C-alpha cells in the first residue's frame, strides 16, 4: 500500500499519513495530524493541527475538521460538514484587542467507531457522536449523540435508531429491534440501544 497525496494538497511535514490513504486536491492537513490507514481526505477538506483519525475514515469534499477532534475507525464526515472547536467564538477580547492562541481554549468533537456526519451538518464542540450513530444532513448537534442513534434537525434530536448498515432499524416487539439489511438484533432500555447479536457484542 502507498500514500497518495495530490500535488495541490497542503500536507505538513509533521503530519502522519497511514498506508493506503489519499489526500485530494486543495485539501489541507495541518501540523501533527495523524491519519490511520486507508483514509480519504476529499477535495478542499481541512484537517486541523493534531487531529486524530483512525483507520478507514472518509472526510468528504470541503469538510472542516478542527482540532482537537478525534475520529475513530470507520468514521464518515460528509461534504461541507463542520466539526467546531470554540464554544464561545469571538474575534476580539472585551477590550477590543485581537484574540490570539492564548486567549481561548480549544475543545473538540469526538466521533466514535463507525459514526457518520451528513453533508453540511455542524457538530458544536464539545460533543461526542456515539458508535454507528448517524447525524442527518444539515443537522446541528449541540448535545452528545447515543450509540446507534439517527439524529436530525436544529438542534439535532433522535428520530430513529440505525444499525451498522446505516439504515433505520425495524421494531420486532416491545423494546427489540432488527436491522432489515444485516439481520442484526438490538434491545432498547432507558433510551440506550444495545446490540444483542453475538458478533456485535464481541466487537465492543
Question: What's the mean pLDDT in 61-72?
Answer: 98
What domains does the chain contain, in order, with CATH numbers? Answer: 4-95+104-162 (2.160.10.10), 165-204 (no CATH)
Burial of residue 103 (number of CB atoms within 10 Å: 0-12, 13-18, 19+): exposed
pLDDT at 149 over 90: yes
Read off the pLDDT of residues 89-141 as tens digits, 9 standing for 90 and up: 999 999 999 999 888 899 999 999 999 999 999 999 999 999 999 999 999 99
User: Residue 194: is its pLDDT beyond 60?
Assistant: yes
Which pTM does this prediction carry?
0.93
Task: Tell me the CA distances in angstroms from 72 to 97, 100, 111, one per residue in order.
Answer: 38, 30, 6
**pLDDT of the residue at 187:** 96
Query: What is the reported pLDDT for 199?
Result: 52
| pLDDT over 70 at 176, yes or no | yes
CA dist 12 and 26 (Å) reads: 13
Amino acid at each position: 500500500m502507498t500514500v497518495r497525496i495530490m500535488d495541490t494538497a497542503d500536507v505538513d511535514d509533521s503530519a502522519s499519513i497511514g498506508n493506503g490513504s489519499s489526500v485530494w486536491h486543495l485539501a489541507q492537513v495541518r501540523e501533527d495530524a495523524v491519519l490511520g490507514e486507508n483514509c480519504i481526505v476529499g477535495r478542499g477538506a481541512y484537517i486541523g493541527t493534531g487531529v486524530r483519525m483512525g483507520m478507514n475514515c472518509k472526510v468528504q469534499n470541503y469538510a472542516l475538521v478542527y482540532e482537537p477532534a478525534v475520529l475513530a475507525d470507520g468514521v464518515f464526515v460528509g461534504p461541507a460538514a463542520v466539526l467546531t472547536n470554540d464554544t464561545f467564538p469571538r474575534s476580539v477580547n472585551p477590550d477590543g484587542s485581537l484574540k490570539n492562541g492564548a486567549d481561548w481554549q480549544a475543545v473538540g468533537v469526538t466521533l466514535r467507531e463507525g459514526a457518520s456526519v451528513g453533508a453540511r451538518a455542524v457538530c458544536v464542540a464539545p460533543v461526542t457522536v456515539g458508535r454507528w450513530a448517524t447525524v442527518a444532513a444539515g443537522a446541528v448537534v449541540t448535545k452528545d449523540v447515543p450509540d446507534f442513534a439517527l439524529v436530525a434537525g436544529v438542534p439535532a434530536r433522535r428520530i430513529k435508531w440505525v444499525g451498522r448498515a446505516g439504515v433505520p432499524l425495524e421494531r420486532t416487539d416491545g423494546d427489540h429491534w432488527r436491522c432489515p439489511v444485516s439481520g442484526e438484533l438490538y434491545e432498547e432500555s432507558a433510551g440506550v440501544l444495545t446490540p444483542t447479536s453475538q458478533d456485535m457484542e464481541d466487537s465492543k
